[in-house]
C-alpha cells in the first residue's frame, strides 16, 4: 500500500503513533502551540489524513488541505468540525462513540455526588483547618439515593448514567428525547425504571437535571432562563455534554436567585474557562476541566479507535466509526 501523509494535531499515545508510522509518513504538530504552527501549516498542505481533537477544523483550514480525504477525531463530539464543508469536499469524518460511555457516566455521577453532598466545599474546610467541631445543619448536604434524575438527552452516555442511578441508587429516572425510544431494544435493563416525559414535566419533577446534549444548531443555548425557571425549586443542574448548550448567564442568575441549589459543570462555552469567568469561582458551582473521558484506560481506547478509523479509511476500507453516514 502507498504511504500517505498523516498529520497528528493532538498528541497520540506512543503505541498508536507507532502504528501510524509503520504505514504512513507522519508529522505531529499542535496548531495551538505557536512554536509548531508553521510545521502544522506545512503538513496540512500535504495531508491525506488528520487525527486529533479539541481544535476547530473549519472551512478556511480545510481550504489549506487540498489533498485531505479523512479526518479522524479522538472524540465522540463533532462540534469542532464544519460538517457542511467536510461534506462539500467529500472528506470522511470518523469519531469515537461507545468506548467512553461508562467513563463519562462516572464523571457525571461524581458531579451529582459532589454537588449534592458538598464534597469539594467540605473537603476544603478540612484542608483549611476549619474543622474545629462537628459540622452543623448549615453545612449538611442532600441525599442522592432515591431522588429523581432527569436526563436531557438519552443517548449511550445518558443511558449509562441512568443505569447507575436506577440500579445503583434506586433513583426514578425520567428522560426527554425528540423521538420515542424502544427501551426493550436499546436498554432492556432500564425498562420500567426510566420513563420518557415531555420536557416541562421532566423539569418540574427532577431533583437533578443532567444535560447530555450534543452541540448542534438546535441545542445551542437550549438550556436557558425559561428552562431554569421551569425546574423544581432546589434542583441541581449538571452539564456533561457541551457548554454552549447552556446560556451560562442564565445559569448564574438561577443560582443567584436561589431557585437552583447548585451546578456541576464539566463543560463550558469557552474552554479552558477564562480566569475572569464567574463560573470558575461561584460558591455553588463545582467546575471540572472537561474530564468526562479523561482516564488512562478510556483515553487510550479512544486513541486506538481513532487510529483504527484513520488506518482503515486510508486503506480504502470502511472505518468502524464514521460520523453519521446520512449527513456525509
Ligand atoms: C468527547 O469525546 O466529545 C468528549 O467530550 C471528550 O471528553
Under-70 pLDDT residues of the chain = 325-328
* Whole-number Å distance between alpha carbons of 231 and 220: 19
Spacing, Cα 128 to ligand 1 middle (Å): 34
What letter does residue 218 receive in the DSSP assignment?
Answer: T
**Domains 5-99+296-314 and 101-287 are alike in CATH topology:** yes
C-alpha cell at 288: 471540572
Instruction: Give, in order, the Cα–Cα distances in Å from 164 to each of 134, 182, 186, 300.
Output: 31, 20, 16, 23
Residue 290 annotated to the active site: yes
Atom of ligand 1 nearest to the CA of 302: 2
CB neighbour list of residue 254: distance below 8 Å, 6 or more residues apart: 225, 228, 229, 231, 237, 260
| CA dist., res. 266 & res. 107, Å (int) | 8
CATH class of this structure's domain 5-99+296-314: alpha beta
pTM flag (> 0.75): yes
The residue whose CA is least distant from atom 4 of ligand 1 is 75
**What is the predicted pLDDT for the residue at 325?**
47
The answer regarding whether domain 101-287 maps to CATH 3.40.50.720 reads: yes
Name the residue of 79, 100, 212 whose CB sits within 8 Å of the most ligand 1 atoms, as the mutation to test its pocket. 100
Ligand 1 centroid to Cα of residue 293, in Å, is 6
**Ligand 1: residue whose CA is nearest its atom 3:** 77
Of 118, 242, 248, 261, the active-site residue reads: 242
Report the pLDDT value the prediction gives residue 263, as an integer from 0 to 100: 98
Domain extent listing, the chain: 5-99+296-314, 101-287
Q: Which element (helix H / strand E) includes 174?
A: strand 173-176
**Cell of residue 254, nine digits:** 438561577
Structure confidence at residue 299 (pLDDT): 98
Q: Which ligand 1 atom sits nearest the alpha carbon of residue 74?
A: 2
- Number of the ligand 1 atom closest to the C-alpha atom of 291: 7
Q: 204 CA distance to ligand 1 centroid (A)?
A: 29
pLDDT of residue 55: 97
Amino acid at each position: 500500500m502507498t504511504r500517505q501523509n498523516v498529520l497528528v494535531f493532538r498528541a497520540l499515545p506512543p503505541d498508536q503513533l507507532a502504528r501510524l508510522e509503520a504505514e504512513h509518513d507522519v508529522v505531529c504538530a499542535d496548531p495551538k502551540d505557536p512554536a509548531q504552527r508553521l510545521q502544522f501549516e506545512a503538513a496540512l498542505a500535504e495531508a491525506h489524513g488528520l487525527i486529533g481533537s479539541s481544535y476547530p477544523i473549519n472551512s478556511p483550514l480545510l481550504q489549506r488541505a487540498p489533498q485531505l480525504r479523512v479526518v479522524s477525531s479522538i472524540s465522540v463530539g463533532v462540534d469542532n468540525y464544519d460538517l457542511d464543508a467536510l461534506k462539500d469536499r467529500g472528506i470522511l469524518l470518523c469519531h469515537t462513540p461507545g468506548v467512553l460511555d461508562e467513563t463519562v457516566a462516572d464523571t457525571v455521577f461524581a458531579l451529582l455526588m459532589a454537588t449534592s453532598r458538598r464534597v469539594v466545599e467540605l473537603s476544603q474546610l478540612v484542608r483549611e483547618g476549619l474543622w474545629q467541631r462537628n459540622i452543623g445543619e448549615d453545612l449538611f448536604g442532600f441525599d442522592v439515593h432515591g431522588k429523581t434524575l432527569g436526563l436531557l438527552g438519552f443517548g449511550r452516555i445518558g443511558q449509562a448514567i441512568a443505569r447507575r442511578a436506577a440500579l445503583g441508587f434506586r433513583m426514578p429516572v425520567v428522560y426527554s428525547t425528540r423521538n420515542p425510544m424502544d427501551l426493550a431494544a436499546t436498554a432492556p435493563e432500564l425498562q420500567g425504571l426510566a420513563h420518557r416525559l415531555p420536557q416541562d414535566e421532566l423539569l418540574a419533577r427532577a431533583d437533578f437535571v443532567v444535560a447530555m446534549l450534543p452541540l448542534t444548531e438546535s441545542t445551542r443555548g437550549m438550556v436557558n432562563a425559561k428552562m431554569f425557571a421551569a425546574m423544581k425549586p432546589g434542583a441541581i443542574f449538571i452539564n456533561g455534554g457541551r457548554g454552549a448548550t447552556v446560556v451560562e448567564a442564565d445559569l448564574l442568575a438561577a443560582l443567584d436567585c436561589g431557585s437552583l441549589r447548585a451546578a456541576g459543570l464539566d463543560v463550558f462555552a469557552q474552554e479552558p474557562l477564562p480566569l475572569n469567568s464567574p463560573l470558575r469561582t461561584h460558591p455553588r458551582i463545582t467546575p471540572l476541566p472537561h474530564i468526562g473521558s479523561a482516564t488512562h484506560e478510556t483515553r487510550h481506547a479512544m486513541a486506538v479507535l481513532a487510529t483504527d478509523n484513520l488506518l482503515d479509511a486510508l486503506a480504502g476500507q470502511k472505518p468502524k466509526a464514521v460520523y453519521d453516514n446520512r449527513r456525509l
